[in-house]
Amino acid sequence: MTTKSPHFDQMASAGIRPSKNDISSRYAYKRKPCSENSSKKRIGCSVCNGACREIEKCSSFIPPYGTPTTLRITNHVRAPQLIDMLFKKFQITDERKKYTLFTLFESGGQRRITPDAYPLLTRLHLGPCEDVAKIFIMESADQTDIPLEVAQYINFSNQVLDTFIKKFYEEEEREVYKIKEKYEEYRSLLIKRLSEFKKNNVQDFEE
């Protein structure tokens, strides 16, 4: 499994890889104090609040994009539990409910993994090849599901997409023409039947 993370920057879990759009987000975590024998006090600039702090107390964790993170899970672990495990592993204190697991397909499709789903079973259903589909963790508010029917057009150029749209319009016009033909045929038949009905009524009245 592999994941994509937005806010705690390029994080991934046994099939969870980080998102390119999330490189700007960073979260601080506490590091173990340096040895007392350290002769120099190292100072680092934290992105937590823009202030410089002692690097022993606060620093930023930014995994390289696409770096997989391995977690040992069972088929009883649900999506929210997996996110909690990722947060615990990377010592992230942000609100977990802001994040969701997504399945990203090679075609560009994107599908949300529901809270009651089991990520391990999802990975098994997707197959072992991560070139076809990956599991990412991303911020829920910034992501939407992209159906595979839509995703198949994402990688086409504007010129090709314009051609598709033109074909769709032509097909739409043909369908409209067929509907109008059927309507006119039905209208003519209805008028004919009404005329016959009136004619028969007139004859009955004269008799």
Q: Is the pLDDT of residue 62 over 90?
A: no
Strand partners for 138: 100
Q: Is the pLDDT of residue 154 over 60?
A: yes
> Per-residue pLDDT tens for 86-143?
888 877 777 778 888 888 888 778 888 988 999 999 999 888 888 888 888 877 776 6
Q: Is the pLDDT of residue 13 over 50?
A: no
Two tokens, residue 167: 């074909």
pTM for this model (two decimals):
0.44
